[in-house]
Structure formats: structure tokens, C-alpha cells
Structure 1
Amino acid sequence: MNKYLLFTLTFAILTACSQKPHPIAEIFKDYQGENPGAAVAIIQDGDIVYHQSYGMAEMESKRPVQSNTNFRLASVTKQFTATAILLLEEKGLIDLNWTLDQVFEDFPEYGQNIQIHHLLNHTSGIWDYEDFVPDSALVNPVMDQGVLEIIQNTDQTYFPAGEQFRYSNTAFALLALMVEKYSGQDFPEFLEENIFKPLDMNTTVAHIKNQNTVPERAYGYTKENGQWIRKDQSSTSAVLGDGGIYSNVLDLFKWDQALYNGTILPKSTKEKTFTNGLLNDGSLIDYGLAWHIKEYKGEKVVYHTGSTTSFRNIFYRIPSRNLSIIILTNRNLPEEESMVDLAERIIEVFQNN
């Protein structure tokens, strides 16, 4: 073999090795190219140590996902709704022991036994409003006030307040209405003034159609018969308190840091959100105030997934390590529960590289 050919082969091998995808990129290979995409960030010790964007924010125009692409957060929204309530508690405008009949006029009798804190940790037993909203309501989608009206026409709960844990989007729609009632501001305005603006989360917004806009918006896609179909909204997508915020990984990095330094909530209050709730019999639940709680290899994890029409997300934090994983996607796969596995796969790869 002549020297020139040997050099050429060696250069080609070295070039191929240098272009080998990052192991995390391998995890997201199905999100790349002309597919609905993802934005991924790893945060450690106050810095974004890994960030990558994959695929399309809007397939029709071939607009790619970027670091400032805003995804519908779905239930990752709930931590901001809970924070708004806790800010009002700090100001003495709300008491978490108030009952629903104290807060809302003409609330059914069972509201005498449901307190605000039951809503925050999903132990209220209140009915799921989604069961009362037909798919045909997409033309005039239900909003938070509509959720209250639905619930005011029910006469029972799944169980007495505090007896069980049952995840409830209804609860967080009602909490958003409380923010409006006791702050005197619209829910998006309160979030903007008290959370987003102080943290310079400049493009994060609780979105109301025809009232505000989502810059650099990712649109959602659902896979049907092997093809990606744009399916961005459902009949319940306009409800704000349970899932209506849009944000991006750069803004969520600022929020992640605020959870450490107490910029928005005092650290003592913040710790309440990461503390397991109690049922009436004294048993613990794996949920705090708008955060799921679990362990990963013996360390406490606080996290929340988000799943709505064509979006799957997770915000996963190991506070003892100052380590956070953010994954935002605009597709209806995988199942919401699998987002935890996805975050932990990223941690494994990150630790081993």
C-alpha cells in the first residue's frame, strides 16, 4: 500500500471517528431530521453542560427546533400554578386551609371538605373535568372558568378529601382561578409580573389564543398510520392552570436556578413543594406541591412530566447533585410515564462520558 493511500485511509477513519454522534444524540436519533423534534438540556452546578436540539418545530415549513423554541409544557405548568398560589399565601392573600365553598360562590356542598392544599397535592377527590368535555368542543374549547362551571354541576367526589391520591387537572384549573380572584390580575399577567419577568424568562407565556402570542412556537404532531399529522390542540388545551404555559430550555434553566437560590419563593416555602404529602391516615404520598417525588439510586428526585395533545416533556431534578434534565418534545410518543426512563437514560450516558 503506498503512503498516499495509507494517509487517505487514516484521515478518513479519523474523520469518521470525529464525526461520531454524541451518545445522547443516539438516544434521540428518531427525533432528528424531518421529524417532530426535541430540545434537551443537562444542567449541573449552575451551568448548562449539555444542550442539543433535534428535528422540526414546524414540519410544514421545515423550521427546526432551536434553543429558543417554545413547547407547550402541559403538566410541567403545574409547578408555576402552585408557585403563584404560594406567593399569594406569602402575601397573606390566601390560606391553604380555606375550603372551596369559601373560595367559590355556589360551590356544591362537598366543597366544605376540600381545602386548597388538597388541590395542590391531588388529594381532593374532585372529578376530572375532561370526562365532561367532548372532542367536538375544539371549536369553542373549555377554559378554566368553564372547568369551574362543570364542577359546580357535579354532586359528589371520587373519595373524601385527603383519603387518597388521584391526579387532578381539575384542581389546577381551580387554582388558576384563585390566583385571578385574590391577585386581581389575569393568570398570565400574574405569572409574567411575579415569576417570568423577575427571572428574565422573556419568551415564556401562559398562552391564550388571540390575546397573546408564543414566539418561536413548536407545533405538535401525532403519528397516525405511520405518518406524522399536525394535531396541536384538543378540546381541553385552552385550560391554563393545568397545562397552558409555553417555554423553552433556556428559560427553564433560569427557573431551575431560581429553585436553588430562592429568588421567587423563600427556600423554606420551596422545600414544602418538595416534601411528600400526607393522607388523613398519616401515610405518605409520592407527591409534594406540583412535584412528583421518587428516588434514583438512593437519592431524592423531584420531577414532573407533561403530556397533552402531541407534546411529551419532563423536568427532572436531583437537588443533592445540583443536576437537572429538561426534555421538551412536540410529538405524542412515548407514553408520559416513559419520559422518566428517558431522563434516567440520559443521566446514565452523561455519567459515563
Structure 2
Amino acid sequence: MKKNDAVAAPRLIRTGAGFPPSRRSEIDPMPEPRDDQGRSPERGRSISVDPKGQRSARSRFAPGTARLSALAASFLLVSCTGDLRERLDALLAPLRSDRAPGVAVMVIRDGAVVYSAGLGLADVERGIPIGPRTAFDIASVSKQFTAMLAMILRQEDRLDYDTPVARFLPDLSRFGETMTVRHLLTHTSGLPDYYDALARAGGPRGFVSNHDALAYLARQGDAVFPPGERFQYSDVGYEMLALVLEKAAGEPFGDLLRRRIFEPLGMRDTRLRDRPDVPVPNRARGYAPLGQGFAPSPDHPLDCLVGSGAVNTTLDDLDRCDQALAADRLVRRATLDDALRPMRLGDGTLSAYAFGWFLKRDLWHRRLEHPGSWLGYQAFIVRYPDDRFTVVLLANRSDVDLAVLADRIVRLYAGPFGTF
């Protein structure tokens, strides 16, 4: 890598309103796992904008601060050397604006936040800036919390990963006794997709719940492939997993997340938006490009499906979660190590996905990451657990390539020799 590569501004802004068909790490030579149609996994599908400015979910795969006069600058810069700070500021310069939605950026190194910045507006119409307690819909990054809850129940002997799903959800018995909780956690269940049909049908309350989804899935045909045969990223699997965890613990999924994870970790601004009327403090509005500006993303019937998404959280709260993972709080080290082992597929190869995280190698370093996107919101987290280094990116605009931005930030800190 040339010395100046890390300083040069990357192509962070994507043209058009849609999400990219694939996002390959610039560092890791291994491409992301894909489904049979070659799509890369993300919660949320591309957003199309028609001439009237109306958006629609086109394909769904894998979404109280003071007014400032010139916002968009960073709200906090701490413990970062002057040279690194200047180069990171230069990298983020294209995202600085007091008239557009933006991105929240956090870098954690050796247990301390060394860089934290808010770029752009949480609410364009009201001129509210992004701050450390601005809440974003983190879409598929929510899966880490679903997986964490499964690990906690496993530690308490209330859940066995190899229990057939049908024992918790008899309505899915048509898919056989071989589909287990582990298959749901690792996207190897073979469950068919139902998003397009459910989005058209809506729900009896104007939105689709997980129980609506279960009832629909129970009426569908056979599995797409035998459980464990191959990897196919599946929001459906994590939505059924949320119902399994409810059955195993005897509590609603939202209560479990709040009582077992959010409250113990002090994640006071984090909410599961399992109903449209759930209040989320300081929630950013999601936006998609429209003409020369941006338009707010509309509500969608699938906004409130949980397990696969619907967690709204902040930089501050994600810092608390990262510290907990590093310190073995809530989840013991042995439990986490077991959960992060790749699963062997039917053809003998190893899957690049474990419980809630994609597994990668960056030179000599173990790397965990997960993207998320949903109707104007994006999130991307990359963790180097052995190096105690984490980058968190949250956005309320759909035209920024967070994967590229995360890799450029990693390059800045790792240097030409990949040493953090």
C-alpha cells in the first residue's frame, strides 16, 4: 500500500438511490458469502425512487438534540494522535454538511473510544445534527443481539443449539426434524423467503409481525435445500429464531433483549421497534437521494419484524456493547468462542458466517463484521477481537458505501504492515 493511499478521499458517495449489489472488503481477499442469485446479504433491499419521489422496497435481502448553526463537524475527538486525526478528518470531509443526512463514526482501540464524530443531520427538515446519542435503525446488525441472547440462554441450559426448531414452533414441522436452532443462527436452514409476498399483503394492524410471518411460512412449500447443506443469508431464519427464543425463555422477544442485554449493559437509548408506535429517543430520520437532494424514507409494512432487524441504537450504546464483549460480560469467553466457529457445510467447506457475524481474515488478524441496510438507514461494524480494535459506522442516508469507509479507517490505524 502506498503511503498516501490512506489519505486520499475514497469514493464514499454512491450515485443513484439503491444499495450496491455487492460489497467486497478491500482488505480481505475472501468475498462475502452470496445466495444462489449472487446477491450479497444485507437486511434491507435497494430503494427505488420514482419521478414522484415515492420509494418502494424493491428486493429485500442482505435501516432532543440542540440545533446547531453549522453542524456536520465532529462532536467528539478524543485520544487520537494529531496525524491520525487529521487524516481521518480528511477522509470524512466529503460527508460534512449542514444540509444533508449523514454518518456517525466511532473507533474503539484497546477499550477506549479514540475517535467519535457526527457528520451531517439526523433530521434535515428540522436541522438537528447527529450526535453520540442519535439513534439509528441498524437493520441486520441487530442480528448480533439475537445471537447474543441465544448464547445467554445456552449458558443457562435453557436452549440447545441442536434442538429441532419444530419442537419450539410446531407450525414449522413440515420442514422436518432436521432443521435446528443452529441452522437458524448460521443461515443454513433452507427456509423459503416470504418478504415480497408479505410486503404486498401487509398485516392486520398495518404492519407485519413475526407471528404473521410464521403463519404465512407454515403454509408454504418445501425447504429450498436440506438444512445444513449450504449457506443462504436469511432474514426469515432470524425472525423464526426470535420466536424460538421467546418459547425457550417464556418471555416476549423485546422484553428479553431489554432485560437480558440492554439494561444490564446500560444501553439506555437502545430500543427494539417491534411496533410502529414504539418511541425511540433522538431517532434519526432515514433518507434516500432524490434529484439534487434527499427525501425521507416512508414507513414500510416490514419495519417491525424482529430478530433480523428493528434494533435502534446509538454510538454510545454500541460502545458499551463492544466493551462487554471484550470483557466477557453477559457472554462467557468459552460460549462466545464456540458461537464464532464456522459451520461445515454439506460439501465439506466451511461457512464464512457464525452466530451474528461474518468471519474473515485480514492478513494475520481475525476479523468479525456485519453490514445492515433498511430504507434510508445503514450500519456497518467491524471488530478485530484479538487486537481490541473496532470501527462502528451508522448512517441515515442510503448512498454512502460504509464497507469502503470502514476499510479505509482500518487502513489508517493498521498502517502498511497491518499492525494496530
TM-score under structure 2 length normalisation: 0.75
What is the aligned counterpart of 1:279 among 345, 348, 361? 345
1:29 aligns with 2:93: yes
1:1-16 superposed matches below 5 A: none
Deviation, structure 1 residue 108 = 4.3
More displaced, 195-204 or 274-283? 274-283
1:153-172 superposed matches below 5 A: 153-172=219-238
Confirm or deny: 8 A CA contact 1:294 1:300 kept in the other structure: yes
Going from structure 1 to structure 2, the CA distance change for 1:232 and 1:319 (only over 3 Å counts) comes to farther
Going from structure 1 to structure 2, the CA distance change for 1:140 and 1:211 (only over 3 Å counts) comes to closer
SS in 2 for 1:109: helix
1:87 aligns with 2:142: no
1:331-350 superposed matches below 5 A: 331-334=397-400, 338-350=401-413
Give distance in 1, aligned partners of 2:174 and 2:200. 29
Q: Which residue of 2 aligns with 1:53?
A: 118
Runs (5+) with no aligned partner, structure 1: 1-17
Deviation, structure 1 residue 113 = 2.1
RMSD of aligned alpha carbons: 2.0
Q: Which residue of 1 aligns with 2:296?
A: 230
Amino acid in structure 1 at the alignment position of 2:176: G
Q: Which residue of 2 aligns with 1:115?
A: 180
Give distance in 2, aligned partners of 1:216 and 1:63. 9
1:193 aligns with 2:256: no
Amino acid in structure 2 at the alignment position of 1:283: T
Confirm or deny: 8 A CA contact 2:171 2:214 kept in the other structure: no
SS in 2 for 1:229: strand
SS in 1 for 2:183: helix
Give distance in 1, aligned partners of 2:237 and 2:192. 9
1:142 aligns with 2:205: no
Q: Which residue of 2 aligns with 1:294?
A: 360
Q: Which residue of 2 aligns with 1:315?
A: 381
What is the aligned counterpart of 2:193 among 115, 128, 132? 128
Amino acid in structure 1 at the alignment position of 2:148: T
More displaced, 338-347 or 287-296? 338-347
Going from structure 1 to structure 2, the CA distance change for 1:243 and 1:102 (only over 3 Å counts) comes to same
Going from structure 1 to structure 2, the CA distance change for 1:270 and 1:217 (only over 3 Å counts) comes to same
SS in 2 for 1:127: coil
Structure 1 segments of 4+ aligned residues over 6 angstroms from their partners: none
Deviation, structure 1 residue 297 = 2.4
Q: Which residue of 2 aligns with 1:8?
A: none
Give distance in 2, aligned partners of 1:61 and 1:106. 47
Give distance in 2, aligned partners of 1:209 and 1:119. 23
The structure whose residues are more often helix, as a share, is 1
1:75 aligns with 2:140: yes
Deviation, structure 1 residue 75 = 0.5
Deviation, structure 1 residue 329 = 0.3
Deviation, structure 1 residue 352 = 5.3
Confirm or deny: 8 A CA contact 1:108 1:154 kept in the other structure: no
Confirm or deny: 8 A CA contact 1:129 1:169 kept in the other structure: no
Confirm or deny: 8 A CA contact 2:366 2:384 kept in the other structure: yes
Confirm or deny: 8 A CA contact 1:214 1:246 kept in the other structure: yes
Give distance in 1, aligned partners of 2:88 and 2:195. 36
Q: Which string of whole-angstrom CA distances, capped at 9 and with x for unpartnered residues, describes residues 256-299 of structure 1?
A: 11111111111111112322122134320111111001112231
Q: Which residue of 2 aligns with 1:13?
A: none
Counting aligned pairs with the same residue, the percent is: 28
What is the aligned counterpart of 1:207 among 248, 257, 273? 273
Deviation, structure 1 residue 134 = 2.9
Give distance in 2, aligned partners of 1:133 and 1:27. 41
Aligned length: 331
Amino acid in structure 2 at the alignment position of 1:26: A
Amino acid in structure 2 at the alignment position of 1:31: L
Give distance in 2, aligned partners of 1:31 and 1:235. 31
Deviation, structure 1 residue 232 = 4.7
